Amino acid sequence: MAGVFDIELHDGDSINQDESDDDIVENREEEYNRTTNINTILESDNLERVQLSEQNVNAGQEKTGPQDFELCKILGEGGYGKVFQVKKVTGKDKGSIFAMKVLRKASIIRNQKDTAHTKAERNILEAVKHPFIVNLMYAFQTGGKLYLILEYLCGGELFTYLDREGIFLEDTACFYLSEIILALQHLHNQGIIYRDLKPENILLDGEGHVKLTDFGLCKEHIEEGTVTHTFCGTIEYMAPEILTRSGHGKAVDWWSLGALMFDMLTGMPPFTGDDRRKTIEKILRGKLNLPLYLTPDARDLIRKLLKRQVSQRLGSGPEDAEQIMNHNFFEHINWQDVISRKLEPPFKPSLKSADDTSQFDEQFTATVPVDSPVESTLSESANMIFQGFTYVAPSVLEEMCAQPRIVNARSPRKGFLSTGSLHSLSSRSPDGHIRTTSHFHQHRHHVVGSNNMEDTEMADIGPLFNF
């Protein structure tokens, strides 16, 4: 898949000179006719000439494009494109509901980092299959746009449920954390760092189980002991080593898990300030204040996940997720039951049908769905950047026997995005003194590939949909 997978040759790489017999084709001189003229063969009347087309090249594969999907609803919108709820109108999975993420090529290629993140997201979605990670069903492109067709997650964001409940009971948090841990463990085993764990990027399927979405900030090819230096993520959940740019590895996801756990149990992340710089200052030097109502096991796990020294952080060693799974907070969890989806979800979405969009913001769903025309056309060389983008899931090629269930769009936490109002006693806070800032969620500081803390802030419209 040229143009999608980056292959690097390092100085230490060498070609194995001791080739096996399978790699050698013997040239028997007596069997080779040097007098053969290729032009003579081509001019022969005995040859059948066939025009190459999509119908006779890779004919066994299903060809898809925008024309194969009917737009139903808008689920989200951002600077680079839109996300639609769509219905498949052709093929074996005709009538199935999906989420269609549409990205404008011209917007993406302006920034090398955005191009790299888009390619990484598509590659990771193809490579990673897991019960708690969103499934990519199709990927295709037109002259001006990229299309990702994902399973429709009708349960909505975990963000929405957390906003509605204020805080979760520890048993509820334990359920969600256990599924998230297994998803992160699977990514880490594939050499992938997630780097943007937060309630907005965690969706629920129709039964209430977790699905991680939005892989645009992931980093591939990270092995044990290697680090990367990109400054990216969402500030409130960002590990200190990302902020200091000292090099980070898989342990950043366990810091984010600790911040998420704190958010679930208290109503907000552990370190927040009135602006980005104050938030960063607290993450790097602030004191971790844990409410007295937390159980000793919960307090201990949060403290061990939010260790600023990476070597002291739970999960930072070679055992990775196993260290966290063995903590007393999860002593009643049967991990085999978790991966088998046998645990009963604490919240089951109230849905009328498979295409229900009630868990999404009416600001988008009430809008007439239109895939806007492309304003500019890329040159042939620019389009080569996206060569190899097309994909059809094996489950589609083999047999599509069950309807996918899931998608999700941004639903801002109530009371925090309305200008001019300060809701320090929002439903997210069980007690006024716990919320350390009155308008924390007015601005989610979502930073992507920035070399300066102040110069990049992405439009963040929710899971799957951070463009």
Note whether 335 and 235 are same-domain residues.
yes
- Quote the crossing angle between the two packed helices 296-305 and 251-266, to the nearest 10°: 140
Which pLDDT does position 133 carry in this prediction?
Answer: 96
What's 428's DSSP letter? Answer: T
Q: Are residues 127 and 107 in the same domain?
A: yes
Alpha-carbon distance of 228 to 456, in angstroms, equals: 19
Interval 435-467: pLDDT, tens: 333 334 444 555 555 443 333 333 333 344 444
Structural domain includes residue 4 = no
Residues making up the binding site: 75-83, 101
Sequence-ordered list of residues with C-beta below 8 angstroms from that of 141, at least 6 positions apart, any chain:
105, 147, 386, 389, 390
Q: What is the CATH number of the domain that holds 179?
A: 1.10.510.10
Q: Tell me the one-letter amino acid at 375.
A: E
Residues 184, 302 share a domain: yes
**What count of other Cβ atoms lies within 10 Å of the Cβ of residue 197?**
26
Sign of the CA dihedral with 177 first, then 278, 451, and 455 last: positive
- CB neighbours of 315 closer than 8 A, spacing ≥ 6? 250, 251, 253, 254, 257, 305, 321, 323, 324
User: In angstroms, rounded to a whole number, what is the distance separating the alpha carbons of residues 14 and 20?
Assistant: 16
Both 176 and 135 in one domain: the answer is: no
Query: Averaging pLDDT over each range in 13-22, 99-108, 437-446, which range is the top one?
Result: 99-108
What's the structural domain count of the chain? 2
Distance from the Cα of residue 212 to its chain's centroid: 6
Residue 191 included in any domain: yes
- Is residue 92 within 8 A of residue 396, CB to CB? The reply is yes
DSSP state of 254: H
pLDDT band at 366 (very low <50, low <70, confident <90, very high): confident
- The larger pLDDT score, comparing residue 462 to residue 363, is at 363
Q: What residue numbers does the annotated binding site for ATP cover? A: 75-83, 101
Between residues 366 and 401, the one the model is more confident about = 366
The yes-or-no answer on residue 355 being catalytic is no
Domain span at residue 192 reads: 157-349
Any idea which residue has 């110069």 for tokens? 455
199-211 residue pLDDT tens:
999 999 999 999 9
Q: What angle do CA 348, 352, 357 make, to 5 degrees?
A: 85
Residues 193, 224, single domain; the answer is yes
85: β partners: 73, 99
In a domain, 14, yes or no: no
First-to-last alpha carbon distance for the chain, in angstroms, is: 24
Is the pLDDT assigned to residue 236 strictly greater than 70?
Answer: yes
**30/164: higher pLDDT:** 164
Encode pLDDT of 299-332 as tens digits.
Answer: 999 999 999 999 999 999 999 999 999 999 999 9
Q: Are residues 313 and 387 in the same domain?
A: no
Q: Compute the distance between CA of residue 223 and CA of residue 200 in angstroms, rounded to an integer.
A: 27
CATH (domain of 95): 3.30.200.20
Closest CA to 458 of 445, 235, 184: 445
**Do you know the residue count of the chain?**
467
Residue identified by tokens 């990775």 is 320
Report the C-alpha gap between 184 and 215 in whole angstroms: 12
Residue 228's pLDDT is what? 80
Distances from the Cα of 356 to the Cα of 164, 402, 407, angstroms: 19, 17, 10
b/e map 368-387, b = 16+ CB within 10 Å: ebebeeeeeebeeeebebbe
pLDDT, average across residues 92-117: 86
257 and 319 inside one domain = yes
Please indicate, yes or no, if residue 15 is contained in any of the structural domains. no
Q: Does one domain contain both 118 and 266? A: no
Q: Name the CA radius of gyration of the chain, rounded.
A: 25
Residues 286 and 162 occupy one common structural domain: yes
- Residue 360: the pLDDT is 83
d(Cα 126, Cα 124) in Å, to the nearest integer? 5
**Residue 214 clears pLDDT 50, i.e. is over it:** yes
Give pLDDT, residue 299.
Answer: 98
32 found inside a domain = no
Q: Quick one: pLDDT at residue 278?
A: 94
170 located within any domain: yes
Do 441 and 427 form a contact (C-beta atoms < 8 A)? Answer: no
- For residue 297, give the amino acid letter: D
Q: Is residue 432 part of a domain?
A: no
Mention every residue, 6+ apart, whose C-beta is less than 8 A from residue 377: 143, 144
Is residue 167 a contact partner of residue 266, using CB atoms and an 8 Å limit?
Answer: yes
Let me know whether 144 and 174 are in one domain: no
Sign, CA torsion 66/67/73/79: positive
Q: Which residue in 301, 129, 311, 289 sits closest to 215, CA to CA?
A: 129
Which residues, including other chains, have CB under 8 Å from residue 216's CB and lie 6 or more apart? 117, 118, 120, 121, 196, 448, 466
What is the percent of the chain with per-residue pLDDT over 70, rounded to a whole number? 69
User: Hey, CA dihedral for 302, 306, 312, 315, is it positive or negative?
Assistant: positive
Selecting among 163, 196, 214, 460, the annotated active-site residue is 196
267 part of a folded domain: yes
- 153, β-bridge pairs: 406
Same domain (yes/no): 214, 345? yes
218 band by pLDDT with thresholds 50, 70 and 90: confident
Q: Amino acid identity, residue 287?
A: K
Same-domain pairing of 126 and 252: no
Strand partners, 260: none
pLDDT at 18 over 90: no
